[in-house]
Chains A and B, each alone.
Chain A
Amino acid sequence: MTGAAVLGSLAMIFAQLSLLAFGGGNTVLPEMQRQVVQVHPWMTASEFASLFALAQAAPGPNMLVATLVGWRVAGLGGALVATLSLCAPSSLLTFGTAHLWYRFRNAPWRALVQRGLVPVTAGLIMASAALLTESTTTNWRTAVLTGVATAVFLFTRMHPLIMLAAGAALGVLGVLS
């Protein structure tokens, strides 16, 4: 593939993901992984999981994994194309509908549609979690870390960044290998 063709493919993939991302960025992770690992063999599943982890370590929206995927595939241009393609279609939709939304705020279909989307969103985010966990579980120690960290996120109010730093520190200290 030439440089322009790669950028074109990135734009197509991420623009499509943008309009499928009901329930936020995490719901499209499996499809993003399918596209950049299977359909276009640009990276391995574990590289993808590493990029996702890096994106979690940065502040800001969780869509930033797109920036890193684009950058890994096609450098700085790829990072910009992937990020903007992932944001533009959904942003235009928001821009176009923000004033309509206010008018329908008491319409019964609004609650119904939202209620209908919950199970689908739940299934999609669980799929993201399963695929990520599969590629980040390299041995029983990383499995235990994921399990313990999940419990911490669920049952304590600890700031996520502290737990992420703790996970990285355990790795650096050689506890996980």
Chain B
Amino acid sequence: MSESHPKPSLAALFMGFFTIGVCGFGGVLPWARRMVVEQRRWMTAGEFTDLLGLCQFLPGGNIINLSIAVGARFGGAAGSVATFAGLMAAPMAIVLALGVFYDRYGDLPMVRHGFAGLAATASALVLATALKIAAPLRARPVGMVIAVATFVAIALLRWPLAPVLLAAAALSMALAWRVRA
């Protein structure tokens, strides 16, 4: 933790993450980094990257975890509430407005067709993310087998997530340990 940065107030924490929430179309993390490190200088790049490591390691949305961790560092529990509320307020209001619009006009053919195109493109967004994450596994045949097995269990067999996740993660970590030892 660096002493040279001024400690942001609760209002500043709320406003900072409010900005991230509004700006973050399709990927919020770059905006978070910009605001926290470059614009407001609450943390150094190294501190930010280290905290991001935790947020990606723990379950839950990375950016949500990041808002909690940044808030906690500067304002304890109240800080976390401020950053979380700031992050979620505008996006929740916007997404609910979209939901109401969809409910009211979703039956019109033009709107229905528009949503079909939007949905097909949104699927592509997840598909591209999956391929990007899977790409490094080409060099890890064992990892590839685990990824395929997880895929089959969830997508084809439709098994519940909890036992699949536990078994696959335990096996994968044990194998990673063996490879290293």
Which residues from chain A sit less than 8 Å from chain B, CB to CB? Answer: 16-26, 28-31, 34, 38, 49-64, 67-68, 71-72, 76, 79, 83, 87, 89-91, 93-95, 97-98, 101-102, 105, 110, 112-133, 136-138, 142-143, 145-150, 152-154, 159-161, 163-164, 166-172, 174-177
Contacts and interface: CB of A to CB of B under 8 A. Distances in A.
B61 A63 contact: yes
B77 interface: yes
Interface of B: 21-28, 50-51, 53-65, 68-69, 72-73, 77, 80, 84, 87-88, 90-92, 94-96, 98-99, 102, 106, 110-111, 113-134, 136-137, 140, 142-144, 146-151, 154-155, 158, 160-162, 165, 168-169, 172-177, 180
Given A121-B133, A122-B137, A123-B151, A176 B113 contact: yes
A53 B128 contact: no
Nearest to B169: A120
A31 B59 CA distance: 15
Contacts of B165: 20, 22, 120, 124
Contacts of A72: 99
A91 B65 contact: yes
Nearest to A52: B122
